[in-house]
Structure 1
Amino acid sequence: MESSRTSQTQKTGEIKEIYPIDLPDLDYRALSSTSENILTSLASNTYEGEHWFIPSNGSKVEVTHDNVGRLQLFGDDDPPCTLLTLHMPADGTQVVALNLHGKWWSLNDVLKTSIKSRSGLVMVQSVMERVILFLLSQIIFGVLEKPSGEEIYFSPHPMREFGKILWHNGEAVGFYTIKKKGSLCDGFTRRSYQLSVLDTVFVRTRWRRSGLALQILADFCKSLPNEEVIGISCPISPSMIKVCSKYLLMHQDQRDRLYEVEAPGGWGQRRNIWLNIQLNRSTNSSSEEQCPTTMNKEKL
């Protein structure tokens, strides 16, 4: 009998790995009801699923009520949808597995695919793709690869937020999301974005410095050909400024189009990114000319 993880190819004898994204899509209601059923069975000692999970580090984690957590896939403005996580004992932030399709999967396996055609930037459409977007933004970026010393977090993305996942060599290695022109800024006001804005961007640590962030920015700009101006959410990180600088050096036609934006993006809330880069360079050059001693020390 085949497991849910592998399937046998009869002609070649090869074993093909199967991951959650490759299985039939989930349903939001089923995902939540399964989570509730598992929690209830764990609390009443009637749980019949896997009792131990072995992460890649080899340390077994027991599946108990105390070691299982429940996360909301979306924010308060969307219908509740629960995702079940298994974490290390006494540390709820160290998630090691998610419960999907009736079994526990390691985080690395949830982020993998066996389908070779799933490559590059792929629009988020299915429930499982929403789960992967959540995993990347809330657990991978939010905890496991959180920048040292920085209190930076992404809010859970709304259920209908436009986003793309970046697939590379069979793994989900990043994503970006857009606040489309006309979409509400938040659930508390009636303000809406006056231009489309690149809102969140993330590339996993292992795959950085390989041009993937540049690929994301180029895809964002190309995806909105009919919009005269587009934006990137403020504040833009220093690393993203470098990506913008490189992109705008190669694409001069985009220099008057790309702005750093504060919501909702009126003209008083936009700053041209290329102009800002040039002004900062000019300021830095002036400072260096006025402080030759400091400059010499840096050369040493």
Structure 2
Amino acid sequence: MVNEVLQATGLRKVYGERVAVQDVSLSLRPGEVLGLLGPNGAGKSTTVGMICGLTVPDAGRVTLSGGVSLSSDEAAYKRRIGLVPQDIALYEELPARMNLELCGALYGLAPDLIRRRAAEVLALVGLTDRAQDRPATFSGGMKRRLNIACALLHDPDVLLLDEPTAGVDPQSRNAIFDNLEALKAAGKALIYTTHYMEEAERLADRIVIIDHGRVVASGTQAELFARLPAAQTLQIELDGEPDDAALAGLPGLRRTGQRLDVQLPDLGRDAGPLLAALAQRGVRVRGLASSRATLEDVFLQLTGRALRD
């Protein structure tokens, strides 16, 4: 696609006899959040490592818009990538501003630009008033936000975030979400890995699910929900207990006392005929409620429910 800022094709990484990533391909557009999901050990962090240049792929290629790649111009490539790693990566005894200045110096930015960018990213993550404080005195959420600021200091086109809310409280998570939504609105392209399905549902425009090192599904949330046998559930509260014969022949019903649960591919299309059939059989309905499938339902269907070490 012409508007892609990043294109990864056929990524593969092998450690000894273990294939960590096999033929993973994905793309990213400006102003888009791509959720990268998978069970523990599925290959998410290895994929992120290959995209940001920390891990050398055994096969495959990552290219940025303009044809820039690690092999063609490593320095130019890395200047356009920002990484927020899974583990906190800060100098705990240096003030927050000095952490940022060090990042800027490593990217070869001019001192005046470093000072301006440090002020901008500290304001973005809400840490302006803590600029002179050491991260050792910060909460976990504040450290995560400073990590994001460090990854943004050189103004990259693409930001990779590897489980950036691990171990933080709900207030800090929401602050991080606000930061990322502001970056998306500014046209930044984000790849976001997480184990929290509700985060992906809130943030991601498209989702790639990896299992055993391979892509098992890719698309918008609506496209992923379409893979489920039924995407919505109708709960029907009955007025009294009907005779079982009255429910015979109606497919997909699960009865618990005076309640029926039925999974429907399309609630708007399928609920009416079902309720009409119940009325024709003399089954009186007292109340209705509905719920839709979640991203977790899709994830578990594709990757299974077994525990992963």
Query: How high is the TM-score relative to the length of structure 1?
Result: 0.25
Larger Rg belongs to: 2
